Amino acid sequence: MPAQIAINGYGTIGKRVADAVAAQDDMRVAGIAKTKPDFEAKLAVRKGYSVYAANRDAVAKFEKVGVRTAGVLEDLVKGVDLVVDCTPEESGYKPLYEKAGVKAIWQGGEEHALTNLSFNAAVNYADCIGASFVRVPSCNTTGLIRTLYPLDAHFGIDRVVAVMVRRATDPGDSKKGPINAIEPELEMPSHHGPDVQSVLPNLNIHTIAVKVPTTIMHLHTVTVDLKKPATGDAVLDVWKRFPRITFVAGGDGVKSTAQIMEIARDLSRNRADLYEIAVWKDGVHVVDRTRLYYFQAVHQESDVVPENVDAIRALLELERDGRKSMEKTDRSLGIGLAG
């Protein structure tokens, strides 16, 4: 029988995780929970998901607009094997999950300290097998880990300095900005560097972040001092052996994140998502034998989605081999077909 999975919070990340879970044969969506009966709740009903109100007070709001609920979150979590919590940061559901004796996965808005275990399928799947609680780090952090881990494993890394050019908000959000400004994050390092260390504790990384008026994709410019000499081709060969990294080329007309999202649309995936990290292969440069520069783009709404599916398998011990889990997830989502 497939594992029963609840999704608490059905926004940008939650609705994608729900669809990815529904695409697997070893797990199913038992229900989704929301605070508001908005258009996303109505679409969830149309998709056939059982909708639960986040709390008893919210039930009347759902009923008033004709969204039938199957109960409240508390009922949902009692009957499932695991909750994927995709609510905004610090929503505070840990005591509820603990009381119900249910396993849970949180997203990158939460601090590492909430679970003391942050997950990346390629790096630490084995360490998370059977765990009760993990956190999947944020989109930017996951993006950095995807390309830095292979480099560290193969060449060794002395030091990383990454500058993150961050999207202002998600496409479905019209409240946040900036809309006509460039906003430096004055905290140094930005929170991303320490967050990468929640999965790769020995990596010497410094991060700097700037927010710009775009809604799709972050762009990272990364400088890495490698321990062993390398060439650009050798670096690309290492990345090609790892899943969830794809390659684009300025020479093919991919001059910006706009063309990368056009590729994602042309692939006709669910919601035109790009789960892979896109690296410009003609933007990879090695100087003085050990200094590597590269650019990568991160589709913030979707890169963490396959990680959530693998984290479910690890926690519920549905698969003990991380590679096999990643392959299964990637096949189901069409990952690997981009480039």
Q: Which is nearer to ligand NAD, 108 or 150 (CB)?
A: 108
Q: Is 128 a catalytic residue?
A: no
Q: Kindly write out the interface string for residues 298-327 of this chain, putting x where it contacts ligand NAD by CB under 6 A and - elsewhere.
A: --xx--x-----------------------
Contacts of 321 (CB under 8 A, 6+ apart): none
Q: Count the residues of the shown chain that bind ligand NAD, applying the rule CB under 6 A.
A: 28
Closest residue by Cα to residue 242 from 209, 196, 277, 280: 277
Contact region for ligand NAD (CB under 6 A) — 154-162, 227-235, 296-304, 317-325? 296-304
Binding mask 123-152 for ligand NAD (x = CB under 6 A): ---------------xx-------------
Q: CA-CA distance, 91 to 295, in Å (whole number)?
A: 34
Residues 67-86, mask of contacts with ligand NAD (x by CB under 6 A): -------------------x
Q: Is 4 an interacting residue with respect to ligand NAD (CB under 6 A)?
A: no
Q: Which is nearer to ligand NAD, 82 or 226 (CB)?
A: 82
**Strand blocks (E) in the chain:** 3-8, 27-34, 51-53, 82-85, 103-106, 133-135, 157-167, 183-184, 205-212, 218-226, 245-248, 277-280, 285-287, 291-298
Verify binding: residue 218, ligand NAD, rule CB under 6 A.
no
The CB-of-135 to ligand NAD minimum distance in angstroms stands at: 9
241: left (phi over 0), alpha (psi -120 to 50) or beta: alpha
Q: What would the DSSP string read from start to end of 27-56?
A: EEEEEEEESS-SHHHHHHHHHT--EEESSH
Is residue 103 within the footprint of ligand NAD (CB under 6 A)?
no
On the 0-12 / 13-18 / 19+ scale of CB atoms within 10 A, 174 is: exposed
> Is 21 one of the binding residues for ligand NAD (CB under 6 A)?
no
d(CA 226, CA 157): 5
CA distances from 77 to 93, 183, 314 (A): 11, 40, 19
User: x/- site string to ligand NAD, residues 107 to 126, per CB under 6 A?
Assistant: xxxx----------------
Q: Is 91 in the site for ligand NAD (CB under 6 A)?
A: yes
Interacting residues with ligand NAD between 221 and 280 (CB under 6 A): none
- For ligand NAD, which residue of 57, 89, 98, 187 counts as binding (CB under 6 A)? 89
- Residue from 3, 6, 10, 133 in contact with ligand NAD (CB under 6 A): 10
Q: Given the complex with ligand NAD, which of 114 and 226 has the nearer CB atom?
A: 114
Looking at beta carbons only, is 279 or 298 nearer to ligand NAD? 298
Measured CA to CA, the distance from residue 271 to residue 63 in angstroms comes to 29
CB of 132 to ligand NAD, least distance (A): 19
Place of tokens 């398998």: 313
Measured between alpha carbons, how far is 7 from 76 in angstroms, rounded to an integer? Answer: 9
Counts of helices then strands in the chain (DSSP H, E): 12, 14
- β-strand 205-212 against 157-167: which pairing, if any? parallel
Question: Interface with ligand NAD includes 31 (CB under 6 A)?
Answer: no
Q: Which of 13, 76, 139, 304 is catalytic?
A: 139
Which residues are tagged catalytic? 139
Q: Give the footprint of ligand NAD on this chain (CB under 6 A).
A: 8-14, 33-36, 40, 54, 86-89, 91, 107-110, 138-139, 170, 300-301, 304
